[in-house]
């Protein structure tokens, strides 16, 4: 589930912290990298559990209305479709989610304000009203409700994203990526799978895990060699004026190109140029693109880079 885009971001962040902290921080940085990736995967389960928690909160709210001293007719006979959602009931019994949540202590117990905010957003939406008024009483309609909620109400909601980043510093750059995997997971749910419905694994395969670890290790191990190449192509620039983040991005890009022949060069270049747009200065993407393009041409001419 943790794709290579997110892996590159986490390695970049870990290297930056490592260089800022010095040699001692670099010795423990690999564990920090793996912890950061684990926290990203935690967010995936937090989102899935949020679906269940929001539903339970609405169920408790309805029950409290029934037991008021003077309940209204609507409170006595509420529309229970939302809380009886079959997809949510299936998710709530999911063996993988319950096991992971128990093992890693994942819970919304201490963040009920956030759960309430999400519930209020849903209850005031046209998506919710259309669902409650629909004649389509099917599992597919129940599942589609939550896919639509995540796609249109939660994903891209800057207010909710800011709250999530306050809950965990590890989620600062994860939210949008993980939301896409939650939407994909909802779409994959099959009623016949019951509690055994498979969720996404932390890594798609062993190769992605090895990519994360090896990219980090090799960037540190080959730092001097890679820097020599970069310095040759930035000799017309004052080295002190080259942003630290720009240097790390170029180190990572060049290390990846030299050591992972299965990844096309243009894929590597595009990923790190995009990272520069987000993590460095406004002019960094153009600068990095120019330097790396020059380096690639040199290494191809010297037959050091043989891939396209």
Contact 219, 11 (CB under 8 A): yes
pTM over 0.85: yes
Q: Ramachandran region of residue 107, left (φ > 0), alpha (ψ -120 to 50) or beta? A: beta
Confidence of residue 241 (pLDDT cuts 50, 70, 90): low
Give pLDDT tens digits for 31-60. 999 999 999 999 999 999 999 999 999 999
Contact 174, 42 (CB under 8 A): no
How much is the pLDDT for 70? Answer: 86
Residue closest to 252 by CA, chosen among 206, 288, 202, 198: 288
pLDDT at residue 240 is higher than 60: no
pLDDT at residue 306 is higher than 70: no
Question: How far, in Å, CA of 49 to CA of 106, rounded?
Answer: 8
Helix (H, G, I), strand (E, B) or coil at 204: coil
Give pLDDT tens digits for 90-146. 999 999 999 999 999 999 999 999 999 999 999 999 999 999 999 999 999 999 999
Question: How far, in Å, CA of 11 to CA of 22, rounded?
Answer: 16
């Amino acid at each position: 589930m943790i794709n290579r885009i997110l892996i590159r971001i986490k390695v970049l962040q870990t290297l930056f912290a490592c260089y800022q902290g010095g040699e001692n921080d670099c010795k423990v940085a690999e564990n920090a990298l793996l912890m950061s990736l684990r926290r990203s995967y935690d967010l995936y389960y937090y989102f899935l559990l949020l679906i269940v928690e929001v539903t339970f909160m609405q169920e408790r709210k309805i029950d409290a209305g029934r037991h008021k001293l003077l309940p209204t007719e609507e409170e006595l006979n509420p529309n229970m479709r939302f809380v009886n959602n079959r997809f949510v009931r299936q998710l709530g019994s999911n063996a993988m989610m319950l096991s992971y949540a128990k093992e890693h202590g994942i819970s919304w117990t201490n963040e009920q304000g956030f759960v309430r905010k999400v519930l209020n957003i849903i209850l005031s939406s046209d998506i919710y009203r259309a669902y409650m008024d629909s004649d389509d009483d099917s599992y597919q309609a129940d599942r589609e409700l939550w896919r639509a909620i995540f796609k249109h109400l939660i994903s891209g909601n800057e207010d909710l994203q800011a709250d999530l980043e306050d809950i965990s510093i590890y989620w600062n750059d994860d939210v949008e990526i993980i939301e896409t995997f939650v939407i994909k997971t909802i779409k994959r749910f099959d009623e016949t799978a019951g509690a055994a419905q498979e969720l996404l694994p932390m890594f798609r395969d062993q190769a992605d895990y090895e990519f994360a670890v090896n990219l980090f290790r090799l960037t540190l191990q080959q730092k001097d060699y890679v820097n020599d190449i970069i310095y040759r192509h930035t000799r017309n620039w004052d080295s002190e004026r080259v942003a630290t983040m720009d240097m790390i991005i170029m180190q990572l890009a060049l290390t990846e190109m030299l050591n992972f022949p299965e990844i096309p060069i243009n894929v590597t270049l595009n990923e790190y140029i995009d990272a520069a747009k987000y993590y460095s200065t406004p002019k960094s993407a153009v600068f990095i693109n120019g330097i790396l393009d020059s380096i690639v041409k040199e290494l191809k001419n010297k037959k050091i880079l043989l891939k396209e």
